[in-house]
Amino acid sequence: MNKAELVARLKELSQKLGRDLSTEGANDVLESRVKEAEAELALLNDDGESSEYTSTDDNAGSKETENGTAGITSLPQSKVDEESNVTRRRVKLYRTLDIWHHKKGVDRRNPNKVVHVREIVSEGEEIDVDADEAAYIIREEHGRAV
């Protein structure tokens, strides 16, 4: 996509999300911003059904539309905690946050058990959070869906 197409797509997504998205920056920055906004929109429009995500390819989960733009068609599969029946999503943080999240290996007696912990998580790290928390993190531009 060229810069004009990326700016147009950001403006369209901005209207759908109900907030302004920055249209400044190089093409790679704008492409990243479009992907994040599309993922956020997909997450917000998710009606609670988990979607399949089977490939780790960068283009997986997207398809080419009539006008030549790529649109997110699915997000990474939701994980459901068997004990508490809570839907979780994986996010990558843009900022360091003091946050509750799900973490494996905290309990020494049962290292495979996933527990809900509160800790300070550095920017760039990927964590599992509740689906509502993931939507908030993305909406506030603290991270993106992985």
Q: CATH code at 132?
A: 3.40.5
Spatial distance between the Cα atoms of 77 and 17, rounded to a whole number of angstroms:
22
Q: At what angle do helices 131-139 and 27-45 cross, to 10 degrees?
A: 140
Instruction: Say whether pLDDT at 54 is over 80.
Output: no
**SS3 of residue 41 by DSSP:** helix
Strand locations in the chain, DSSP E?
A: 62-64, 70-72, 79-80, 87-93, 97-104, 114-121, 126-130, 143-145
pLDDT digits (tens, 9 = 90+) for 60-99: 343 334 434 333 333 444 455 455 556 889 999 999 998 9
Instruction: Tell me the pLDDT of the chain averaged across its residues.
Output: 75
Say how far apart CA 70 and CA 67 lie, in whole Å: 9
Pair (84, 32) in one structural domain: no
Compare 144 and 19 and report the one with higher pLDDT. Answer: 144
Please identify, among 23, 42, 76, the residue that sits at the C-terminal boundary of a domain.
76
pLDDT of residue 82: 53
Angular region, 124: left φ>0, alpha ψ -120 to 50, beta rest: left
pLDDT tens digits along 14-25: 888 778 888 888
What total of structural domains would you count in the chain? 2
Note whether 72 and 18 are same-domain residues.
yes
Regarding whether 82 and 60 lie in a shared domain, the answer is no
Tokens 């058990």, located at residue:
113
Domain that holds residue 98: 78-146
